[in-house]
Amino acid sequence: MISPHKLIFLLVLTTAVYAETKIDKYTGTATDLKTGKLIYTEEHEARYVDNVNVGSTITYRDGMKNVIGKKEITFVNSSSLVSFRREDYRFGTVESAELLLPGVRLAKKEGFLSEQKEKIISAVTPMAIDAGLNNLVRNSWNTLIQGENVTFNLAVPSQLDYYEFRVKKEREEIIQNRRTIVVRFESDHWFVRVFVDPVIVWYDFETRRAVRYEGISNIYNENGKSYIVRVTFDKPGP
């Protein structure tokens, strides 16, 4: 008779043998939204198991191709909840989110000499974290295509809190010879929308992956302010 421990090992081994794994690489070029000046590039290495993105590593480089930061992302199936850690090597800033379920630990470090601050928040559903926004769009694709708004809570490590947001389809557009839907992420409160610009993302209709992004960046300048960028991917990205 096979022992329980050996049976579990055989099941894991069998799953590993039959699981299809692959690495997808693509690059995003971030330019200043107003001037068009190159600010940085994003080199993405996305890991897939059975066509599900389970993790990604993003390497940020400045205009001289120097590495200025890195982000590690861990996905949970196709959920909009992710764990991630982003570090800027120039200024020592760190932002992260760790899924504890049912809570989320948000953390930030504002510089080399700063102490890390953190807070555990409730995962008030529906909630999205960082790159989980792309899964939120894919999971809500049919609703968005029909022109309906999707509301959710966005966890923001830099603020150690979450905020009510919404996403909606604005239009369809052909870019880079691809049919895309253009969606707008914005606060769900009108008085916040007066002061905070929306984020606009173009999603390839066939792959449902982003090909262009316009809005606030998670990379900061020397004054600690987020760049406002256009990121264009060389092929369907995150």
Beta-strand runs (E) in 110-234:
117-122, 127-129, 150-156, 161-175, 178-187, 199-204, 210-220, 226-233
Instruction: Return the closest-CA partner of residue 39 out of 83, 88, 112, 93.
Output: 88
Report pLDDT digits (tens) over 174-223. 998 999 999 999 988 765 664 578 999 999 999 999 999 999 999 999 88
Parse the chain into domains and list their residue ranges: 20-233
Q: Parallel, antiparallel, or unpaired: how do β-strands 150-156 and 127-129 relate?
A: parallel
On the question of pLDDT at 95 being above 80, the answer is yes
Give the per-residue pLDDT at 68.
Answer: 98
Percent of the chain clearing pLDDT 70 (strictly above): 90
Give the per-residue pLDDT at 153.
Answer: 96
Which amino acid would we find at residue 78?
S
Tokens coding 27:
């690059």
Work out the average pLDDT over 119-144. 96
Give the per-residue pLDDT at 2.
Answer: 54
Give the per-residue pLDDT at 190.
Answer: 61
Q: Which residues is 210 bridged to in the sheet? A: 203
Which three-class secondary structure state does DSSP give residue 208? coil
Residue given tokens 């707008």 in the structure block: 184
Give me the count of residues in the chain.
238
- pLDDT-based confidence at residue 19 (cuts at 50, 70, 90): confident
Give the per-residue pLDDT at 8.
Answer: 44
Neighbours of 59 (CB within 10 A): 15
Which three-class secondary structure state does DSSP give residue 205? coil
DSSP letter for each residue of 83-128: EEEEEETTT--EEEEEE-SSEEEEEEE-STTSPPEEEEEE--SSEE
- pLDDT-based confidence at residue 122 (cuts at 50, 70, 90): very high
Give the per-residue pLDDT at 53.
Answer: 95
Work out the average pLDDT over 225-235. 96
Instruction: Return the closest-CA partner of residue 238 out of 214, 208, 206.
Output: 208
Residue given tokens 């960028």 in the structure block: 229
Residues 6+ away with beta carbon under 8 Å from 228: 32, 33, 34, 197, 215, 216, 217
From CA 11, how far away is CA 23, in angstroms rounded? Answer: 24
Least confident window among 1-10, 66-75, 115-124, 209-218: 1-10
Give the per-residue pLDDT at 191.
Answer: 58
Give the per-residue pLDDT at 224.
Answer: 87
Tokens coding 124:
């008030």
- pLDDT-based confidence at residue 18 (cuts at 50, 70, 90): low
